[in-house]
Amino acid sequence: MINTTQALEEYIKNLQFSCVYAEKSFPIKVESNILSSSREAVEYLISSAVVGNKAAGFFRSLPPISNLRDTRGICVFVSLELPLNFSIPIFFCRDAATLLELFPRALKTSQDANTPVQIVLGANALHNYADTNFRIPDLDRLTPYIQSDTFTNEVDRELKNKKLSADYKDLSALLPMEPFGETLVFEDPLLSFPLYLFPLNIKEQRDLFKGLRLINTTNSNKELFHYFLNDLLNMNIRIETEIQARQTETETLLCPGCPFMLFSSYLSFTDYLVFTSIPCAAVEKKLGFSLITLHEYLGINFKRLNRQTVYIGNLSELPAAPIPSGGDYHFIFLKDTDIETTFPIPRLPYKLKQKVDFIFPYTCNNVKRYSRLKVNKKKCRCKDDPTCALKTACPAFAPGEEYVFINEELCTGCRACVPACQYKALS
Amino acid sequence: MNYTIHFCSKLSSAFDTVMKLAVETASEADYATKIYTSQSYSPFSSIMLDIHFIGSAKKKAIEAVLDFDGVYIGKSVSLYISPKIIDIAYDGLHYWGIAGTLFKIIGDLSPALITSYLLKTNRERELSVFKQFSLKSLPLSIQETLALMQKEAELKS
Ligand code: SF4
Ligand code: SF4
């Protein structure tokens, strides 16, 4: 019995990927050796694979690929969401067993067809268990090299996709070969969802779905099917649901020391609309800030608006976009690099003096540690449901028998929780 | 009898070990298991594993939440067990305490596999907590709810 999250970690470690990027909020811990935004990381990974490195990227949602090239080394993008456009082969892992089957296959495809591939992990694939023999695939070892035409060679995508479809006929067999009837009833729609999606066969088989009315009796993957049939194939198919959605859920927790946890504790943003470029699903779910890029933010504020806005992003985004004067912009930049700016930097994260226009001393990837927090056992009165834990969503807290308990290994000493305690028990 | 247990926890190696052992234990007792996971949003987020323990062809299943870390926030369920309910501190050993209660809910599972695993790995403290909770009765109100659910499940099938 193997935990799929651990299996993914093993693949990355044992296959010696030399170029690895992981968004910090990706739900498994992967050591990243590239410090850049998600968009830039895609280009970084592809070009490193072009010369023969093994490259892997972990994204919640894979940014669009603008420069698709032939890769000599393996290039694999792992994401949690299906993309809106198909430009590279997709391997969809609907559960734990398919993850272990498809991950090695996807790597082989990338190696043999010299193309980046995308592995999409369905919600049921991560943090799950599979009862199969886990094996690390045998892949080529390459020494990176470059020559004068390495980056000038044009690739005929159409031709390449045709070849892929022909080479991987068995993989596309799961897509329908004959038109569906009028109504399809799926007991578990996931079982019928195609595992392998190649750019070409999607187009070719689009017509087979025409006129379909889908009845989904479990509702478990309504969104997925809706996405596949309607968004992707643009088919406007009716999906009916017969069973109530699941109502069981657990708390969303942030990382210990998360900058956003400090902002919501120390800065009241009620008079600002907050935008961020940090693609963190936990923050999005907890705090509901809109995800945009710096350029989009500059566009919004080109002329004075009816509401004040603030943009939270990484400091490394700054030089890419000289900020035009005259707009009503406000920024909080998270210090991921050492660029000089005129914005003040508080020495300690909990000594924030101003609400906006400052540099926060760290970002998600380099969370700093400060002297650990202590609970005053006499003052603490929250045995159950401690307010410090509820308000901050910090995973370091656990309710104790008489007072709250802080997991010392997790606590970074960020002090986001201090203002949350009405009894002043944390210091 | 069929059971649907929602196991909720922060990510931890103890939880992972408990889950593996629970599934193995169930298959030794001829239960088929289906495991579904929930989305998780950050590397520290809590997770929920829904495990269906299928022991019969009947449609009805007894549903329970085993909340190892007090992180469950869904609809209220009649059979809910957390460290607070069984009166155990969140000190790391509590994973084994909650694991013990699983054997009170699914009465025909044998705790032998977990016991021998803990013995083999020299985890004496974990073993004593596990034994304590797999032998001790559940709180009275939970026992009553469970008995009622069992009766209902039998009647309906
Ligand atoms: S530090 Fe905060 S924003 Fe960054 S990944 Fe963790 S929870 Fe998300
Ligand atoms: S316990 Fe408090 S100080 Fe420690 S990481 Fe969590 S919020 Fe920060």
Q: Ligand 2 centre from A143 Cα, in Å? A: 45
The CATH number covering residue A147 comes to 3.40.50.970
Q: DSSP string spanning B29-56?
A: TT-EEEEEE----STT-EEEEEEEEE-S
pLDDT in tens, A299-327: 888 888 888 999 999 998 886 667 777 67
Which ligand neighbours the alpha carbon of A32 most closely?
1
Residues A70 and A128 grouped into a single domain: yes
Does A90 share its domain with A45?
yes
Cα three-residue angle A265-A267-A270, rounded to 5 degrees: 110
Residue A47 and residue A11 in one domain: yes
Interface of A with B in 256-315 (CB under 8 A): 256, 280-282, 285
Give the gap in angstroms from C-alpha A164 to the nearest C-alpha of chain B: 32
Q: Do A195 and A98 meet the contact criterion of CB atoms below 8 Å apart?
A: yes
> How far does A1 lie from chain B, in Å, by closest CA?
7
Q: Which ligand is nearest to the CA of A23?
A: 1
Q: Which domain holds residue A75?
A: 2-172
Asked if A102 and A195 count as a contact pair (C-beta separation under 8 A), the reply is yes
Which position has the token pair 């210091």? Answer: A427
A16 and A131, same domain (yes or no): yes
Same domain, A160 and A265: no
Chain A positions touching B6 (Cβ under 8 A) are 248
Taking chain A (427 residues) in runs of 10, the rounded mean pLDDT of each run is 90 90 88 83 94 94 87 94 76 83 88 88 86 84 84 74 66 48 49 55 58 54 64 62 61 93 88 91 89 89 87 85 75 89 88 90 92 87 78 85 83 93 88
**Are A30 and A166 part of one and the same domain?**
yes
CA A136 – CA A2 distance, rounded (Å): 13
Same-domain pairing of A53 and A22: yes
Domain ranges (residues) in chain B: 2-156
Q: B2-156: which CATH topology?
A: Pyruvate-ferredoxin Oxidoreductase; domain 3 (3.40.920)
User: At A173, is the secondary structure helix, strand, or coil?
Assistant: coil
Q: Mind telling me how many Å the CA of A23 is from chain B's nearest CA?
A: 10
Domain co-membership, A209 together with A88: no
Q: What is the pTM of this model?
A: 0.84
Q: What is the pLDDT of residues B49-96, one digit of tens each?
A: 999 999 988 778 899 999 999 999 878 888 999 998 999 988 889 999
**Same structural domain for residues A29 and A124?**
yes
**Chain A residues with beta carbon closer than 8 angstroms to that of B41:** 25, 27, 252, 280-282, 285
Q: State how many domains chain A has.
A: 4
Q: Are residues A147 and A193 in the same domain?
A: no
- Indicate which atom in ligand 2 lies nearest the CA of residue A397: 1
Domain shared by A327 and A339, yes or no: yes
CB A60 within 8 A of CB A22: no
Asked whether the CA dihedral A231, A234, A237, A238 is positive or negative, the reply is positive
Cβ–Cβ under 8 Å, residues A418 and A374 = no
Residue range B88-105, pLDDT digits in tens: 988 889 999 999 999 999
CATH code: domain of residue A383: 3.30.70.20
Q: How many angstroms does the Cα of residue A179 sit away from the middle of ligand 2?
A: 57
Nearest alpha carbon, ligand 1 atom 4: A364
